[in-house]
Amino acid sequence: MPVSNLSPIPSSSYVQAVTATASGIGASNIPGSANYAEGFVRLNSVVETRDGTTPTATLGKQWDIGDIILLRSRDELVGFSAIEQSSTDASINWEFFNQTPGG
């Protein structure tokens, strides 16, 4: 469930293109004060890891169109990587927050 009681970091929205090559959010796209993020999966299912390992179409956690991915720490933000689940590109719309819920 999305966080409704926190305000996102202003001007911090980012759309991550997800293709057949695994990639992360990118350090330059993560605000320096971000410690939490919500990502909305669009266009196609994705498979992700957040421990620094490279995901494949079958290795990692799968998220489907409309799912919301929650990254709950700076380590997860930096270690996140995703790949398209099938041969159709996807995207994840990210919104970043400076604190975690209840933090």
pLDDT digits (tens, 9 = 90+) for 48-95: 999 989 999 889 999 999 999 999 999 999 999 999 999 899 999 999
Any idea where the domains of the chain sit in the sequence?
A: 18-97
Confidence class for position 3, pLDDT limits 50, 70, 90: very low
For residue 44, with 0-12 CB atoms within 10 Å meaning exposed, 13-18 middle and 19 or more buried, which class applies?
A: middle
Residues 37 and 39: their CA atoms lie apart, in Å, by 7
The pTM (predicted TM-score) of the whole model is: 0.89
* Size (the chain), residues: 103
The residues pairing with 81 across neighbouring beta strands, listed in sequence order, are 49
pLDDT value of residue 52: 86
Residues 51 and 81: their CA atoms lie apart, in Å, by 9
